[in-house]
Amino acid sequence: MAGPIPAEATGVLPAEALAQAVAPPCLLVLFGASGDLTRRKLVPALYRLFREKLLPAEFSLLGVSRTSFSDEAFRGRLGEELREHAPSGFDPGLWGEFSGRLFYHPADVDDPGSMQALAKRIHDLCRERAIPGNLLFYAAVAPRFYSTVVRRIGEAAEALLGQAIHMVTG
Ligand SMILES: NC(=O)c1ccc[n+]([C@@H]2O[C@H](COP(=O)([O-])OP(=O)(O)OC[C@H]3O[C@@H](n4cnc5c(N)ncnc54)[C@H](OP(=O)(O)O)[C@@H]3O)[C@@H](O)[C@H]2O)c1
């Protein structure tokens, strides 16, 4: 007589493993926020993680690029993309909940002065959203910008002091 089917065999992780899979609270600072990778892949992937309850409650994303968007316009643009290209997975209520965690800050990484305002926005968001000093910078920009992005983060190091900083490219 066969016993119960192990959870792994059903493709569903056991509850303890799922709990461990949830990342610690963080602010994802996403350079290249107006770009194709963000719109078509990164944000839809994060939305799916949110739907599966695999994002921490305090997770927030701050998009950065030169194009001028309000937070609302940024959210609207990303929501349209999801609604059009993944209509079966799009739940307006869930999207509303998720998109409330998305923020936008216009900045040009070629501008050496750009990080002061960005560092302040990061600081304010971490405080408002109760994110305990854990920053993930994602450079979704052309590879020629990677070193500039790293330099800009370095320039803001003093303002970001006390925060754990992680970096992802492309
Ligand atoms: N698209 C994909 O499916 C895909 C897949 C795998 C890997 N990648 C890699 O991901 C990276 C981004 O690709 P992508 O297709 O998303 O390119 P993209 O659509 O051209 O987006 C580039 C982004 O960089 C921003 N940007 C350009 N100059 C900037 C500046 N001076 N300051 C601040 N932001 C600036 C642009 O925003 P503004 O013009 O608003 O400033 C835009 O948000 C590339 O390295 C690519 O190889 C892409």
CATH number of the domain to which 139 belongs: 3.40.50.720
Q: Does 135 fall in a domain? A: yes
Phi, psi for residue 142 in degrees, rounded to 5: -60, 145
With a 6 Å cutoff on the Cβ, whether 65 touches ligand 1 is: yes
CB atoms within 10 A of CB 58: 16
CB 141, CB 32: distance < 8 Å: yes
* Ligand 1 centroid, distance to 147 Cα (angstroms): 14
* Ligand 1 centroid, distance to 142 Cα (angstroms): 5
Q: Does 7 fall in a domain? A: no
pLDDT in 10s for each residue of the chain, 170 residues: 444 545 555 556 666 666 667 778 899 999 999 999 999 999 999 999 999 999 998 899 999 999 999 999 999 999 999 999 887 889 999 999 999 999 999 999 999 888 889 999 999 999 999 998 889 999 999 999 999 999 998 888 777 877 778 888 77
Q: Does 77 fall in a domain? A: yes
With a 6 Å cutoff on the Cβ, whether 109 touches ligand 1 is: yes
Q: Does 14 fall in a domain? A: no
Question: Which segments of the chain does DSSP mark as H helices, in order?
Answer: 15-21, 36-37, 43-51, 71-85, 92-99, 114-128, 146-155
Q: Does 153 fall in a domain? A: yes
* Ligand 1 centroid, distance to 4 Cα (angstroms): 48
Looking at the chain, the whole-number percentage of residues with pLDDT higher than 70 is 88
Tally of domains in the chain: 1
* Ligand 1 centroid, distance to 40 Cα (angstroms): 12
Q: Does 138 fall in a domain? A: yes
- The residue range of the domain holding 76 is 31-169
Closest CA to ligand 1's atom 7? 170
CB 77, CB 95: distance < 8 Å: no
Is the pTM value of this prediction over 0.85? Answer: yes
* Ligand 1 centroid, distance to 88 Cα (angstroms): 27
Which stretch of DSSP H or E encloses residue 134?
Answer: strand 134-139
With a 6 Å cutoff on the Cβ, whether 108 touches ligand 1 is: yes
Q: Does 11 fall in a domain? A: no
With a 6 Å cutoff on the Cβ, whether 56 touches ligand 1 is: no
Q: Does 121 fall in a domain? A: yes
